């Protein structure tokens, strides 16, 4: 049976103001499993899916070794909205599974069809985008105050993360 945590996420983002639409949108999603080190999104390719991380963790890397940079971390119950998804452009980063992950995906065409059928669904899209902006701003603030990503290479080596793309 499909998990309903994506629906729970949508209800939290919208403060339960569109529960029926949230349920319809979450039911359009498909669940996919990724193993540790699998590439969820590849740098240079146009992302076709919006992903909700049901279980596991993921990381965005600028490129492979040497001189790779950690751009962002995701934990379970977070949305992965890859660069380029909404404007249909190639991603500037690769996103890799840090461990085994279960992800609910919603592809671009499904989202467009949903918005065509339910124009009030743009409220959901706007709430998702605003939530993502807030999360990125929070991460930037933490990086500035904690310098938390300075030792990312040691972390990646300890987790045995390999990325050749």
Q: Which residues, in sequence order, are bridge partners of residue 60?
A: 72, 95
Evaluate if residue 15 carries a pLDDT over 60.
Answer: yes
Highest mean pLDDT among 1-10, 16-25, 26-35, 83-92: 26-35
Structural domains in the chain (count): 1
This prediction has a pTM of 0.78
Q: Is residue 151 part of a domain?
A: yes
Residue recorded with tokens 């919006």 = 50
Torsion of CA 137, 139, 142, 144, to 10 degrees: -70
Q: Is residue 34 part of a domain?
A: yes
Q: What is the pLDDT of residues 76-119, one digit of tens each?
A: 988 898 888 888 899 888 899 999 999 999 999 999 999 999 99
Evaluate if residue 157 carries a pLDDT over 90.
Answer: no
Q: According to the model, what pLDDT value does residue 1 have?
A: 47
Q: Is residue 163 part of a domain?
A: no
Beta strands 39-41; 94-97: pairing state:
antiparallel
The pair of three-digit structure tokens given for residue 106, joined into one six-digit string? 């919603």
Q: Is residue 78 part of a domain?
A: yes
Q: Is residue 84 part of a domain?
A: yes
Mean pLDDT score of the chain, rounded to an integer? 80
Q: According to the model, what pLDDT value does residue 127 have?
A: 84
């Amino acid at each position: 049976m499909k998990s309903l945590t994506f629906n729970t996420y949508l209800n939290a983002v919208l403060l339960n103001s569109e529960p029926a639409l949230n349920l319809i949108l979450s039911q359009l999603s498909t669940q996919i499993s990724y193993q540790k080190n699998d590439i969820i999104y590849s740098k240079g390719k146009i992302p076709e899916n919006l992903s909700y991380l049901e279980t596991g963790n993921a990381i965005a890397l600028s490129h492979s070794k040497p001189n790779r940079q950690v751009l962002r971390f995701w934990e379970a119950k977070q949305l992965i909205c890859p660069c380029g998804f909404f404007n249909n452009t190639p991603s500037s980063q690769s996103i890799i599974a840090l461990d085994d992950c279960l992800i609910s995906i919603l592809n671009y065409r499904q989202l467009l069809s949903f918005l065509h059928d339910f124009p009030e669904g743009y409220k959901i899209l706007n709430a998702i985008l605003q939530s993502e902006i807030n999360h990125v701003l929070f991460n930037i603030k933490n990086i500035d105050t904690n310098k938390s990503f300075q030792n990312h290479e040691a972390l990646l080596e300890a987790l045995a993360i390999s990325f050749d793309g």
